[in-house]
Amino acid sequence: MKLFSRILICSVWLLLIGVGVFAMQKYSMTPALPGIAPQQWPASPSLKMIEGKPALVMFAHPKCPCTRASLSELSRIVSNRQDRVMAIVVFMNYATEQNSWDHTNLWDQAVSIPGVQVVSDEQGELSHRFGAVCSGETYFFDSKGNLAFHGGITSSRGHEGDNSGHDAIVSLIQGYATETPTHPVFGCSLKCLHSHQEETL
Amino acid sequence: MTKHTDSGCLYNDTIETRAREIFAEDRQHVYQYTDRMFAGLMIVQWIGAILAALYISPLTWDGASSAIHFHVWLAIFLGGILASFPVYLVWRPIAGIPTRYVMAISQVLFSSLLIHLTGGRIETHFHIFGSLAFLAMYRDWKVLIPATLIVAVDHLLRGIYWPESVYGISGVILLRSFEHAAWVLFEDFFLILSCRNSVKEMMASARQRAELESTKYAAEAADLAKSEFLANMSHEIRTPLNGILGFTDVMIRGIANTENERREYLGHIQTSGRHLLELINNILDISKIEAGQMTIELRSCSPHQVISEVLSIMRVQAQRKNIDLEYIWHSQAPESITTDPTKLRQMLLNLVGNAIKFTDCGSVKIEVQLDITQHEPLLILDVIDSGIGIPLEKRANLFEPFVQADSSVVRKFGGTGLGLAISRRIARALGGDVVIKDTQGSGTTFRITINTGSLDDIFMLPAPSSDALQSQRENSQKEIIQLPQGKVLVVEDGEINRKLIEAVLAESGLEIEIAENGQIGVEKALQNNYDIILMDMQMPVKDGYTAATELRQSGIETPIIAMTAHAMLDDEQKCLAAGCSGYLSKPINISRLLTTVADALYVPHQVDAIDTQAAEAEDNERNDHPLISSLPTHKPVFAKVVVKFVDYLEEQLIMIQEAIDNGDHARLAWVAHDLKGAAGSAGFADFTEPAFRLELMGKNKDLHAAQASLVELTKLSKRIVVPEIEVLA
């Protein structure tokens, strides 16, 4: 085989790999579009703040694989800080008569995090109040109910590890201000439920 | 001084070349084996990546709706791209694309894919280290380069743009990227060491196998060559045997009617017998050498003398073919060197004999020079002939024992095919070698090199650049030795030998008595007076050594001449130590027998007994023509040497006479030894033998025959032609 042919074959192979790797990184690094968050803790009969304690709320899709990393990050944030923050994971509930969404792996993972309250968002009421549109979207309200952070807490899609969202929340819990009150969210979309809700409402 | 030859195995270029071939084959085998293993791993990794994607992130969700997760497609397609090309290369290699490098690139990118699919788990990062170790199985450290580069570049870019993806923390300084790359290099360091060691071991193993192969082939070749040799020898031995038996039968049946016919047939028998003897001697020589039993006796000797002797011996053979025999020094000639003169003579006889044999016209030349540029000085002797030459393709195995260059040559020219093998081994034992020099055109040049030993304090004779000693035609004569009346006891168990000796000596006028073994011989010698006793040394009942010793112990002073078929170098000394006065080797040469008996009976004599080349070689025939130095005496410097020798010779002969008269054995031995060396250096080889006999007589404290040898030396001295004084001026 001639040299040119050999170079061509190898180049095509490397190019295909390059395309694959680029797509991998592109998918991994492309965040979801977050919803519009309320600046104050939204009043809700099913979810109330504890007075004098900041609140950390994460919305999660019960089967979103990317949210596994978000829950892990949440676990790292809350660990040893349970007494300083009220942590809540709100799972969307898409239950129908034919299909149950209770107690998925992610639900079990969230329940296992010490100091974390897990609630099910029946009919999408909470996500609607908070304006959450994608899984892993997290909110931090200070003890006065003011929104201090809104965004994701993973560095990329489904990728655990330190990131600025994680760092911002830890700073806020410790009583410091943060220069990064937001961070991209990487997770599955919750919007179908919203659409359904909006249509219903 | 004695040293033994070493027949060690030579590690030559051929073995090294073969070792490299084996190494290349082994390496290719390792590459292919590892390629196949990696191909399997690629498929397993591909399937593993898909399964991991299906388990970890099978679906992506949009509310309650789902679709196949991107990771699943990524595992299928990117994994497929990574795995397919290297696997294809293993199945259908493409020349010029080294599969192992493609494998290395693919493998480390698979690590990246798997790490990604597992969400960057730290455990998955170990896949990289495992992959590098696996790549080291190729035993080619260069394979690690692309893999390491990909890891380093990946970490560098991530360190700059997305540190959390690798280091788990944000805001990582660049140094962290280098640290990660350094850990990879840390592993590489040991893997590279491992690769290099493996390669060394493979090479060592290849060398061992090449040597084993070489030894095996050599053994097989030797076995084959020996079989062929035996077949040839069988033919070679049968041919002269046929001549001997056939002509003997003719003689017995009385078919030969005239004296001329009888002489002709006897000549055939004699020639056949000598050829047989040469064959057997060569076989014995090569057997001894191969068995590592060749002994080298280093002593001081004149190279010029040795060469002159060889020329003297070979001269008749050259004259028969009407070719010139020349001898030239191209450098100063050392008066003496330290070597084994007997072995040197044997080598030269062999090579000069071959040269004459294969030269039909022109000349055979011995060109000698001293090489003092080496660590140890060497004597270089080129034997140059203008003969038929040796084709290049025939030269390779020419020095191998049991290998004959060309069967047609053997049939035409005869010979055993062992001479060159023997010569080379002798030369190597003497610290040199024998090689064929490349020559343009016809003819062949064999170059002998030997170690001369230290030349400190050795007198150097200047030699002209183009002096040559032309062979001189000599008229060989036959002379019947007239022995005086005498009584000889022949102690010999072999009937044929007894009859031969009896016939020869009786013809010369001696009275013969026979004893069949040593016991009878001793009894007869004690009861009768004999003038000489011829004693076979290997006999039943009582051997010759015991018999001679007993006779000496009984006070018998009769000269005892030992006869033995042993060809060992020290056999003569053994006989003399047993009390014998002289030594004759078997088969008995009639001329030498007569000379020895004449010496023992104090008869001055001159022998030119036989006219064949071998007999001349053995007998050192003499005649009455003037003795001219073999040195180029037309040059003043050599003429001076001869003149000095003549003066010196007169003094030495007087000293020898005094030593004999006074019974001073030690002085006789010393003076004779001195004379022997000096005569050789002066170009008078004829003095060597009688001087040597006198030396032995002195050493053995037996002066019975000393006077005869002295008379012989005196006669020789009177025949010397002294160079003209005017020439010297």
Question: CA of B85: which chain A residue's CA is closest?
Answer: A13
Please check whether residues B17 and B162 belong to one and the same domain: yes
| DSSP states of B556-615 | --S-EEEEE----TTHHHHHHHTT-SEEEESSPPHHHHHHHHHHHTT---------SHHH
Q: Report residue B440's pLDDT band, with 50, 70 and 90 as the boundaries.
A: low
What is chain B's mean pLDDT, rounded?
79
Residue B264 lies in a domain: yes
Under an 8 Å CB criterion, which residues of B touch A? 56-66, 69-71, 74, 77-78, 81-82, 85, 94-97, 102, 105, 109, 112-113, 116, 119-121, 162, 164-165, 167-170
pLDDT confidence bin for A200, thresholds 50/70/90: very low
Range of B70-84, B304-318, B351-365 with top mean pLDDT: B70-84
**pLDDT the model gives residue B616:** 40
In a domain, B2, yes or no: no
Question: What are residue B447's DSSP bridge partners?
Answer: B382, B435
Rounded to the nearest 5°, which phi and psi values hold at B472? -115, 140
Task: Tell whether B138 is covered by a domain.
Answer: yes
- Choose one of B263, B290, B317: the last residue of a domain: B290
Q: pLDDT by residue (tens digit) across A73-129?
A: 999 999 888 889 999 999 998 877 666 777 788 999 999 999 999 998 888 889 989
Pairwise CB contact (< 8 Å): B81 & A13: yes
Tokens of B399: 């020095």
Verify that B204 and B108 share a domain, yes or no.
Answer: yes
A6 touches B at CB < 8 Å = yes
- B401 lies in some domain: yes
Cβ(B606)–Cβ(B622) below 8 Å: yes
Nearest to A6 among B60, B77, B96 (CB): B96
Compute the distance between CA of residue B51 and CA of residue B519 in angstroms, rounded to an integer: 105
Q: Is residue B73 part of a domain?
A: yes
Q: Give SS3 for A116.
A: strand
Cα gap B50→B76, rounded to integer Å? 6
Model confidence at B613: pLDDT above 50: no
Tell me the C-alpha distance between B425 and B434, whole Å. Answer: 8
Question: Of the candidates B166, B192, B214, which is a domain's last residue?
Answer: B214
pLDDT at position B8 over 70: no
- What mean pLDDT do residues B199-228 have? 87
Put simply, the answer to whether A161 touches B168 (Cβ < 8 Å) is yes
Helix ranges (H only) for B118-173 are 126-135, 144-161, 164-167
Tell me how many domains chain B contains.
5
User: Quick check: is B374 in a domain?
Assistant: yes
> Could you give the CA distance from residue A15 to residue B254 in angstroms, rounded to a whole number?
105
Of the two residues B179 and A173, the one the predictor is more confident about is A173
Task: Compute the count of residue pairs across chains A and B with CB atoms less than 8 Å apart.
Answer: 109
- B255 in the same domain as B235: yes
Question: Which residues of B fall within a CB distance of 8 Å from A161?
Answer: 120, 164-165, 167-169
Summarised one tens digit per residue, pLDDT across range B79-126 is: 999 999 999 999 988 877 789 999 999 999 999 899 889 887 778 888
Q: How far is CA B198 from the centre of its chain?
A: 38
Is B357 part of any domain?
yes
Do B652 and B529 belong together in one domain? Answer: no
Tell me, what CATH number does B416's domain have? Answer: 3.30.565.10
Residue A103 to residues A59, A108, A133, B253, Cα–Cα distance (Å): 15, 6, 21, 128
* Residue B320 lies inside a defined structural domain of this protein: yes
| Domains of chain A from N-terminus onward | 55-200 (3.40.30.10)
pLDDT surpasses 90 at B381: yes
From A10, A64, A163, residue closest to B61, measured CB to CB: A64
Which of A4, A9, A70, A104 would best serve as a mutation to test chain B binding (most B beta carbons within 10 A)? A9
Confidence check: pLDDT of A194 > 60: no
Cis peptide preceding B587, ω within 30 of 0: yes
Instruction: Identify whether residues B73 and B203 lie together within a single domain.
Output: yes
Q: Which of B267, B290, B313 is the last residue of a domain?
A: B290
User: Residue B329 forms beta bridges with which residues?
Assistant: B368
Give pLDDT, residue B644. 78
Burial code of A47-76, b = ≥16 C-beta within 10 A, e = fewer?
bebeeeebbbbbbbbbbbbbbbbbbbbbbb
Residues B658 and B587 in one domain: no
Identify whether residues B114 and B203 lie together within a single domain: yes
Assess A178–B contact: CB distance below 8 Å, yes or no.
no
Whether B380 and B370 have beta carbons less than 8 Å apart is answered as yes
Range of the domain at B268: 222-290
Maximum Cα interatomic distance, chain A, rounded to a whole number of Å: 77
| Pair (B337, B416) in one structural domain | yes
Asked if B70 lies within 8 A of A27 by C-beta distance, the reply is yes
- Judge whether A113 is closer than 8 Å to chain B, CB to CB: no
What is the CATH classification number for the domain harbouring B499?
3.40.50.2300
CATH number, domain of B680, equals 1.20.120
Residues B31 and B174 both lie in one domain? yes
- Identify the weakest region by mean pLDDT among B46-60, B108-122, B156-170, B418-432: B156-170
Residues B231 and B358 in one domain: no
**Rounded CA separation B484/B497 (Å):** 22
A16 CB within 8 Å of a chain B CB: yes
With CB atoms and an 8 Å threshold, state whether B94 touches A9.
yes
Asked if the C-beta of A76 comes within 8 angstroms of chain B's C-beta atoms, the answer is no
Which CATH number covers residue B285?
1.10.287.130
B284 and B302 inside one domain: no
Which one is predicted more confidently, B607 or B109?
B109
Tell me the pLDDT band of B5, cut-offs 50, 70 and 90. Answer: very low
Distance from CA of B169 to the nearest CA of A (A): 4
Angstrom distance (rounded) from CA B654 to CA B77:
113
For position A193, what pLDDT does the model report? 46
Given this model, what pLDDT does residue B170 score? 59
Q: Please tell me if residue A103 touches chain B, with a CB cutoff of 8 Å.
A: no
Judge whether A1 is closer than 8 Å to chain B, CB to CB: yes
The answer to whether residues B424 and B534 belong to one domain is no
